[in-house]
Each structure stands twice: as C-alpha cells, then as structure tokens.
Structure 1
Amino acid sequence: MASRPDSGTIRTGIGGWTFEPWDESFYPPKLAKKKQLEHASRKLTAIEVNGTYYSSQKPETFAKWASEVPEGFVFSLKASRYCTNRKVLAEAGPSIEKFLGRGIAELGPHLGPILWQFMATKKFDPEDFEAFLTLLPKTLDGRPLRHVVEPRHESFCTPAFIDLLAKYGVAAVCADHQDYPMFADVTADFVYARLQKGTDETPTCYPAAEIDGWAGRFKTYAAGGVPDDLPLIAPDRKTDQKPRDVFAFFITGGKVNAPEGAQVMQRAVDA
C-alpha cells in the first residue's frame, strides 16, 4: 500500500469475494470456498461488502472475517437499504442505530468507510439531507467512523451539497459511471472512488492507460491535492493541503477481471 510521511494510504479492491467466474480467473484451482476471503485479502488491500445492504450479519460473522485477513486490510460496508431508501431521511435514526449495532464493531481496525447509497430517484433536499448527516455518529465503541454517501441524482450536483458534506466531514463517492454523477470534490479526510466502467473483454478491467490515469489522480488525492482533470461541483471552494487516505474499488462493469484490475492499480499507486 502506498503510504509515505507526506501521503495518505491508498487501498484498492473489489466488491465482495464470492463470484463464480473468479473461481477460475482469480482463485487457485480447487481452493475451498471458506478459504477465498483469506486468499483475496492477501492479494488486495480492501473489499467493499454489498451483502450488508440487503441483510444483516451476526457479530460472529464479522469477527470471523476480521480473523481471516491480514493487518492493514479493511472492509468497506454498504449500509442497510432501510437507512437510505426512505422518503424522509431525517427519520432514519432507528435504522441507522440498528445497522451500526449489529456487530460491525467486531471488525475492529479492519472496519473501513461505511457507504450510504441512495436510490437514483432520490433528489437533494438540503434540510432533510443535513438532518440525515447529523444522525451519522463519529465513533463506534470508541473507534472513529468514516462515512461516505453515494447520491445518484443530478440534483445533488450543487455547491450546497458539497458544503454540507464538508461541514460534517463526510465524503461523497467519486463515481466513474456511465449515468451517475461524479463527485470529485474533497470534503473529508479520505477519498472514496468506485470505478464502474470496466469491461469483461479487458484483462485488467480498465485499459492500462486509464489505470495509470486514475493511479495518478489517487496519488494526488493522497498527497493532499485535487486532480486537475476531474470536474468539480464546487471548483472555487478551497481545501486543506493535507494527506488523505484513498479507497478505490473496481465495481460492476468488468467484474470478471476486477481482481486483476485492483492488483494492477495497487502496483501503480505503490510505484
């Protein structure tokens, strides 16, 4: 992982670790299913867990995951859909408490950012969205929490949204997607990217030139800067020049080759 005194740590990964095509393209032959996380966590530096969006896990499950991965590896958890798929976000308090209280603290130092994803039809309501942000706790069992939101409606493309995130130290997903907006503005002490334009026909998920381009951007973010080739929602807003951790996931498009893309990206940012 890229981590220098003047730079944050850059971690690259994929969504989940169970996907049938990976049995041939990523995992060693005849590797037992129960050994897949152990293997994946030693080839990658982070994994985004999508299953927590649909159903809850037991504390023992999170503890088991934590016991199987090496030091420095982190899980990003997608928060329960019951927290975000609602008309009034200000009323999400009980659902948020329920999600956070279902054992995720068992991950300990392996708990990375929590991703709060919204439906593509959810529009920006400044007052209601700020009420939602106030519900996100800064710590869990004494451990600092990092929150990242993923709105997917163009109404969020306003400086008012960026200002709200900065006020509460919450990041927005920098989404490289065909349809959803990209939020490349820095609003927290970390940056969270989801690279979703890969193809199964590309052995590295993304073409080599694009991987190099994103690697350069991630290095800029990690060093405290903002890439000059990404569109900003609030271009006139000033940000502090300080090291930031970066999390980058190859998601959705090109899933078959996502593990290879993440490994190539990790080598590029570590170089």
Structure 2
Amino acid sequence: MRTGRVLVGTSGWRYPPWRGTFYPRGLVQRRELEYLSRRVTSIEINGSFYSLQRPESWLAWARQVPEGFVFAVKGPRFVTHLKQLRDVETPVANFLASGLLGLGPALGPVLWQLPPRMRFDAERTAAFLQLLPHSTGAAARLAARHDERLDGRALTETDADRPLRHAVEPRHESFRDPAFTALLHQHGVALVQSDSAGTWPWFDEVTTDLVYVRLHGQGELYAGGYTADVLDTWADRIRGWAAEGRDVVCYFDNDMKVHAPADAMALLDRLGSGRGCR
C-alpha cells in the first residue's frame, strides 16, 4: 500500500495583519504568495468564495509557486450560501470557467463550505454531488456550458486530464444523518474535518481516499493559536491517515492574530515535510 501525500498550509494569504509580522517589512503585496508558498506546501484559495476570479489571476498564481505546490480552491458562496445547492448547474459551470483550470498541475481539491443555517436535504445534496466533475477534462466540458456572464473571460480548456477531487464542509448538525455520508461515499467526495472551537459540529468520518482538514482556531474562532500538544495530536492523526494510503490536506484558518502561517509551519516540521525558508 502506498503512503498518502500530505500537504499543509493556510486558508488564504492576503491578510494585512501578516504584513510586518509574518511577511517581512518592505515585502510588496504581489510577492506575498511567492513568499508563503516557499514555507508551506499548499494554500487554500478563498477569494473564489466571494467572487468569480479572472483567468489571468489563476494563471499568475500558478506561475508564482514552486513545482509540486498545490492549491485547494473554495467554491463560490453563490452556489453554497445563496442558492444552497439548488439549481446550480450554470453557477458551477461559471465557476469552473472562471480560470481555475489554469492552475494546471497545481490544482488540488475543491472545497464546498455550506452555511450554518443549511439543513441536510438528501435529494438536493445528491443532485449537487452528481453534478461535480471528477476530472479536469470533465470540468472543462461543464465549464463550456457557462452563461453569457463569462463570455470573453472564460477558460474552458485543460492542459491535461487529471483527477479532480471535492470536499464538503457542512455546518449544521442535521448532516450527521448516515444518508449524507452514504452519498459522499457513493460519489467519492470527502467530508471535511473542521475544528471550529465548538462553533459548528465536527464530522470525523472518512469517506474517500482524501482527508480534508480545516483548523479554524483553538479555543477562539479564527484567532486562537494551536498548542504544541494539539499540533502533536494532529500530526499523529495525519500520519495515521497517510499510512492508510489516504492523501491529506490541512489548512489553518486562524489568521486574525497571525497564528495560521506559524501553526502550518510547525505542523509541517512535526511531519518532517517542512519547506524551511527557501
């Protein structure tokens, strides 16, 4: 059995409080991604959650990171929060056409974060999971069905047909229904393990060969730093999943007090896969 690949990083990279603390004074904003990507092994792109990005942005991000680096991509809140997964074929096509295929080999899993008010609906969830493409070739075909809003600014081709994986982060207790995890198993979609300082339910079932972890802060949502003991525990869990042949991605979202990059590098050091300061 192969050992799974482990990637650790932060959710996003553009945070004013990081400037002059994590980012050196005088580092220009356009070089922040380059700087962080030499210290972690993956980053979760979260700007895509708020608005459709342009192809030139995705292509620029891919050029700034080292070979072997991987981006996770957050699906748009228009799909998850406004439409709540209802009738979303065109919005998903628009998202896929916005340029993420331009990441090429740096494209990792797509995260679909659900709103806390959204309850589990089996029929709606099944229709959404059925829609998701599981290769970049399939994503390109769906992207080609974008609407007129993407005319003249769409990227609907892939440089190679690679696997494309997805993860869902529910935030309502009703998703503890076995029918939900059965659907994830059926469609090969990961269930996010989300530590939110007790704000939302923690779902810990592993549903596919990808384990997607989001660490939102110890004790204080988006702000609490992780202690050495807790990081040791996470390192042990991650080693265990990887030993089972599962790939693991782990993102720190405790950005408010600049803990995220330090915690990510500390976890990488424990796993023996840190980038150092290249």
Shorter-chain-normalised TM-score: which range? 0.7 to 0.9
Residue 132 of structure 1 is matched in structure 2 by 128
Separation of aligned partners in 2, 1:89 and 1:44: 32
Q: What's 1:100 paired with?
A: 96
Q: Verify: 1:264 aligned to 2:260, yes or no.
A: no
Equivalent position of 2:215 in the other structure: 195
1:121 aligns with 2:131: no
Please state how far the C-alpha of 1:12 moved relative to its aligned partner. Answer: 0.9
2:31 equivalent in structure 1:
35
For residue 157 of structure 1, the aligned residue among 156, 160, 176 is 176
Give the TM-score normalised by the residue count of structure 2: 0.84
The match for 2:149 is none
Q: How does 1:42-57 map to 2 (within 5 A)?
A: 42-57=38-53
Equivalent of 1:206 in 226, 238, 258: 226
For 2:72, what is the secondary structure of its paired residue? Answer: strand
The 8 Å contact of residues 136 and 163 in structure 2, kept in 1 or not, is answered as yes
Residue 192 of structure 1, CA deviation: 0.5
Q: Is the 8 A contact 1:44 1:263 kept in 2?
A: yes
Matched residue SS, 2:24 = coil
Runs of 4+ in 1 over 3 A off after TM superposition: 252-255
CA separation in 2, counterparts of 1:25 and 1:253? 12
Deviates more, 1:137-146 or 1:49-58: 137-146
SS in 2 for 1:197: coil
Shift of 1:198: 3.3
Gaps of 5+ in 1: 225-242
Q: Provide the rounded CA distance (Å) in 2 between the counterparts of 1:54 and 1:254.
A: 18
Is the 2:235–2:270 Cα contact (8 Å) retained in structure 1? Answer: yes
- Partner-residue secondary structure (3-state), 1:21: helix
Alignment CA distance shift 1:46-1:204 (3 Å): farther
Q: Give the TM-score of the pair, scaled to structure 1.
A: 0.86
Aligned to 1:223: 243
| Aligned residue pairs, count | 247
User: Which blocks of at least 5 consecutive residues in structure 2 are unaligned?
Assistant: 138-160, 274-278
Change (3 A) 1:256 1:103: same
Q: Hey, what's the Cα distance between the residues in 2 that align with 1:62 and 1:82?
A: 19
Contact residue 225 and residue 254 of structure 2 kept, 8 A: no
Deviation at 1:88? 6.1
Match of 1:13 among 9, 16, 19: 9
Report the CA distance between 1:252 and its aligned residue: 3.4
Aligned residue in 2 for 1:179: 199
Q: Separation in 1 of the partners of 2:201 and 2:81?
A: 19
Whether the 8 Å CA contact 1:89–1:129 is kept in 2: the answer is yes
